[in-house]
Amino acid sequence: MSKCMALLSGLWTPELVWCLSNGPRRFSELRRDNPTITAKVLTGRLRDLEARGVLERNVLATSPPSVEYALTSLGRELLPAITSIVEVGSRLLLREASGKASEGVQPEQANMRTAPKRPSQQRTDLDAQME
């Protein structure tokens, strides 16, 4: 679970995948796309993503040498997921900007002696979706 989400962990990681979403891109191009990232961090993230199989590194024999980074097919499969998170995310951020409506306070029933027991949850509906 966390292992899988760790695919996109690390600062700048989503941006980099995003930048590669419409074609390969070189090291210096990625630097220009994200002006405030440092070379060290950029190399780090690219190496991580390469190790995880999200992108491929391709050295071109130009002079001076240039290096291209491109999403793999599995890397490309992450794009829809990213967009949907961003979609929800921006709605959430908008909600924060305009004063948070409805601080809901419903008057729960009092005086029940013990709280209800629930099973310790082995399967979730998400597990079901997975198969």
Among 44, 77, 98, 131, indicate the residue that binds a copy of itself (CB under 8 A).
77
66 in contact with DNA (CB under 7 A): yes
Q: What is the rounded CA–CA span in Å between residue 58 and residue 28?
A: 14
Measured CA to CA in angstroms, residue 64 lies from 37, 60, 93, 97 at distances of: 23, 9, 44, 48
Q: What is the rounded CA–CA span in Å between residue 1 and residue 4?
A: 5
52 in contact with a copy of itself (CB under 8 A): yes
- Residue 54 contact partner, candidates a copy of itself, DNA, none, CB within 5 to 8 A by sort of partner: a copy of itself
Q: Within 24-53, which residues bind DNA (CB under 7 A)?
A: 26-29, 36-41, 43-44, 46
Among 40, 97, 98, 104, indicate the residue that binds a copy of itself (CB under 8 A).
104
Tokens 């509906």, residue located: 125
Measuring CA to CA, which residue among 17, 16, 49 is closest to residue 31? 16
Q: What is the rounded CA–CA span in Å between residue 127 and residue 122?
A: 10
Among 46, 54, 55, 71, indicate the residue that binds a copy of itself (CB under 8 A).
54
- Token pair listed for 54: 């999200």
Toward DNA, which CB reaches closer, 18 or 27? Answer: 27
Toward DNA, which CB reaches closer, 1 or 101? Answer: 1
Contact residues toward DNA (CB under 7 A) are 9-12, 26-29, 36-41, 43-44, 46, 57, 64-67, 115
